[in-house]
């Protein structure tokens, strides 16, 4: 990111998580309800493990905000891990209990996790030293910081939503959803499915996977609505917004593929069916009757909804285990089981919303500049007026 920068810290069973977000302007009203709501949304979803029942995530603001307004200084957020009380003697930064540490030692790496590669890289013999930071618990800090990006975008009428498009094979050939489809997603439904008709079948598949000690992945679509034209740039490879969004989405744990708009189906057909016609209305608006490009052409937003689908692999911790090796005996041994989700797709959608919000807020600030909301608003109005007048 260019203007905004997010750093997170903390281990999954350590004392808690920290997020530091720099680059927010001064004078932005903080919506504490939105912050709490997004953290709760990340914890929701059928197929999650017991950890989500233990944690009730709340973010404490420890810097960058005064009297409900940002100061332009680094935003500092702290999220306590409730589970830490049971892990203090194992994960504490000072004295730990060697016997307890040994009982929770991870010594047969789980395929699909960072355990093996991280153990080799950081030369750790207890692979918990890798697992604890590689865990998707870290995304709690991202969602908390992303809520502030969402607050900034909301000031300019930009909204972001998501939903589960497919789970395992169910819904795998569903069409790319529209903003109107995402408006129908029921946040309280078990899987936040876009097609509610598919949800009972999806729930049954999760139950089956759970019974069999197996796991599931799938796809979530995120849409940003109300995005103005001109965010990102075609002029340099690392300024292209599609690339910046893809990096942010692929950084989410277990996401293995990203699609912009109808990128996958477009690649399978003719060009005449892959692009979006350009039309001009009588009142001087540029419109596109379709949005196969997902709101991005040449790495620049074109004023249509930004549409991104993230494809998540099945969770790598299987109760029935996968073939691995014991680090002590160097003999074949089934991978160890750690308390785990069967699927985390509904949460992945909320995390993807946070990442899209952070990248779009970054691009918006990059385009508009300014240290205070007052400055940014006047730049926004000037830019909008110039865009309306173009090409005159
Ligand atoms: C919200 C969320 C929850 C997750 N929960 C688990 C889990 O309970 N067990 C697990 O093995 N992996 C879980 N994962 C996936 C792993 O964190 C991820 O596969 C692992 O860190 C390896 O990274 P990679 O898959 O991106 O290569 C979760 C991912 C997300 C986004």
The pTM of the full predicted model, rounded to 2 decimals, is 0.98
In ligand 1, the atom with minimum distance to the C-alpha of 255 is 26
Mean pLDDT of the chain: 96
**Where on the phi/psi map is residue 326: left (φ > 0), alpha (ψ -120 to 50), or beta?**
beta
Q: Where are the domains of the chain?
A: 5-389
C-alpha 276 – ligand 1 centre gap (Å): 36
Find residue 219's DSSP bridge partners: 166, 311
Ligand 1 pocket, mutate which of 206, 344, 345, 349 (most atoms under 8 A from CB): 344
**Where on the phi/psi map is residue 49: left (φ > 0), alpha (ψ -120 to 50), or beta?**
beta
Q: Tell me, using a 6 A CB cutoff, whether residue 134 lines ligand 1.
A: yes
Find residue 150's DSSP bridge partners: none
Coil vs helix vs strand at 363: helix
In ligand 1, the atom with minimum distance to the C-alpha of 48 is 8
Coil vs helix vs strand at 364: helix
Coil vs helix vs strand at 77: strand
Cβ burial, residue 361 (10 Å; 0-12/13-18/19+)? buried
Q: In the CATH scheme, what is the code of domain 5-389?
A: 3.60.150.10
Asked if residues 223 and 162 have their Cβ atoms less than 8 Å apart, the reply is: yes
C-alpha 254 – ligand 1 centre gap (Å): 5
Span 339-381, pLDDT tens digits: 889 999 999 999 999 999 999 999 999 999 999 999 999 999 9
Span 246-295, pLDDT tens digits: 999 999 999 999 999 999 999 999 999 999 999 999 998 999 999 999 99
Coil vs helix vs strand at 300: strand
pLDDT at res. 87:
96
Whether residue 338 is predicted with pLDDT greater than 90 in this model: the reply is no
pLDDT more than 70, % of the chain: 100
CA atoms within 13 A of residue 70's CA, in its CB half-sphere: 27
Kindly state the average pLDDT of the residues 98-116.
Answer: 96
C-alpha 190 – ligand 1 centre gap (Å): 19
């Amino acid at each position: 990111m260019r203007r905004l920068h997010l750093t997170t810290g903390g281990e999954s069973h350590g004392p808690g998580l920290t997020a530091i977000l720099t680059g927010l302007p001064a004078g932005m009203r903080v919506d504490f309800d939105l912050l709490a709501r997004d953290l709760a949304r990340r914890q929701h979803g059928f197929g999650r493990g017991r950890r989500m029942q233990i944690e009730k995530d709340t973010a404490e603001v420890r810097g960058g905000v005064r009297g409900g307004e940002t100061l332009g200084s680094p935003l500092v957020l702290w999220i306590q891990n409730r589970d830490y009380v049971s892990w203090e003697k194992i994960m504490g930064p000072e004295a730990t209990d060697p016997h307890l540490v040994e009982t929770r030692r991870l010594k047969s790496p789980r395929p699909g996790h960072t355990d093996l590669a991280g153990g080799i890289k950081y030369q750790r013999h207890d692979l918990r030293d890798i697992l604890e930071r590689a865990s998707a618990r870290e995304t709690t800090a991202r969602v908390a910081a992303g809520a502030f990006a969402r607050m900034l975008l909301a000031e300019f009428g930009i909204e972001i939503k998501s939903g589960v498009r497919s789970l395992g094979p169910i819904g795998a050939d569903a069409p790319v959803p529209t903003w109107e489809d995402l408006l129908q997603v029921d946040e309280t439904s078990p899987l936040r499915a876009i097609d509610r008709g598919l949800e009972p079948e999806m729930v049954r598949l999760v139950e089956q996977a759970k019974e069999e000690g197996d796991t599931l992945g799938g796809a979530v679509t995120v849409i940003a609505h109300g995005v103005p034209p001109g965010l990102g740039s075609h002029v340099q490879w690392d300024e292209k917004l599609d690339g910046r969004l893809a990096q942010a989405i692929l950084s989410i744990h277990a996401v293995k593929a990203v699609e912009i708009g109808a990128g996958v189906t477009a690649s399978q057909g003719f060009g005449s069916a892959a692009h979006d016609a350009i039309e001009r209305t009588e009142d001087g608006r540029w419109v596109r009757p379709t949005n196969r490009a997902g709101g991005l052409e040449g790495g620049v937003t074109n004023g249509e909804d930004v549409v991104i689908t993230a494809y998540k692999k099945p969770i790598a911790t299987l109760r029935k285990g996968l073939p691995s090796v014991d680090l002590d005996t160097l003999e074949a041994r089934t991978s160890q089981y750690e308390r785990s989700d069967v699927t985390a797709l509904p949460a992945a959608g909320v995390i993807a919303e946070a990442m899209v919000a952070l990248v779009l807020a970054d691009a918006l600030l990059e385009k508009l500049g300014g240290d205070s909301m007052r400055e940014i608003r006047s730049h926004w109005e000037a830019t909008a007026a110039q865009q309306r007048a173009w090409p005159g």
